[in-house]
Structure 1
Amino acid sequence: MKKHNAPFTIVADESYEHFERNSVAKSFGRFLIGALRSPLTFMQATLRGYFPLTLSIGKLSIIPVDVLIDEQGKVVRAHYCKDTVDHIPIDELIAFSKGQ
């Protein structure tokens, strides 16, 4: 893992308000699959100090959603991840941020 100087804003739903309001899937099994699919990433994040603020299985088991929102506030793409390591590719995020 390394730091990226992303040319776009990243927003986290720390209160889980939007996750709950939009019925985002929860699956502890998928959380574990993500950790097993990418154990090196999981280990690197842990060694760099990432540690969930809660050890609540209910919150750890929330499967991520990547949402691209344009400058007018319109949702252009919502990617409901299969597990914790399935995300929109960084190249696609950068292209979106450049209006491509």
Structure 2
Amino acid sequence: MKLFNGSKAIDFITTDINGKTIKLSDYKGKKIILSFFRNVNCPYCNRQVHQLITSSKRIKETGAEIIFFFESSADKLTSSTFHQGISPWPLISDSEKVIYQKYGIEKSTLKMMKTMFVSSLGKAKKETEAHNLPEDKEATLNLIPADFLIDENFNIVKAHYGKHLDDHLTIDEIKEFVGIVNPFKKKTA
């Protein structure tokens, strides 16, 4: 079941890779960026994570929270020095895809294949090769990423389901949601 703009966020309780209990409703009153990624070795997902980390200080200053989900095991995530660097944001392993199912995250071989026509795997691998990402042989090859922007009242302002493996919300969309203004963005009349 996919969620839509205007839907209420679905609460969950889980633990992050550091053993901290994460309950989504504990973040009520703050803006939340909830991102579902593929696996620890996905170059597209890790490029997006890197861009979010680069903006994390400014995002944190707004009071917004980011929660990252990966389908990889906690052991895989904790063995990755790149993923350890995500802190202070919760990094959650959902290898059983329990929360993925609650949020309607899909598997699609067609969308996976579409990626080859709209995105450059070589470029994404090159951009993430310095992270020395661990392999994840248990990963689902056709899991499609998704992002949710949730307001202070627990409403989903934006439900973004990827159209292919490299389709996440843009960093500019996320910054705009949390209130970070781009001084170079042209205003439209």
Task: Place the TM-score, normalised by the shorter chain, in its bin.
Answer: 0.7 to 0.9
Whether 1:5 aligns to 2:71 is no
Structure 2 spans left out of the alignment, 5+ residues: 1-46, 70-92, 182-189
**In 1: Cα distance, 2:153 partner to 2:168 partner:** 23
SS in 1 for 2:128: helix
Distance 1:51 1:29, change over 3 A: farther
Q: Which moved more, 1:1-10 or 1:84-93?
A: 1-10
Whether 1:68 aligns to 2:145 is no
2:112 to 19, 31, 45: 31
2:100 to 6, 19, 23: 19
Distance 1:49 1:33, change over 3 A: farther
Distance 1:45 1:18, change over 3 A: same
Relative to its length, the structure with more strand (as a share) is 2
- TM-score normalised to structure 2 length: 0.43
Residue 32 of structure 1, CA deviation: 5.0
The percentage of counterpart residues that share the same residue type is 23
Structure 1 spans left out of the alignment, 5+ residues: none
1:41 to 124, 139, 159: 124
**1:85 equivalent in structure 2:** 166
**In 2: Cα distance, 1:24 partner to 1:46 partner:** 27
- TM-score normalised to structure 1 length: 0.73
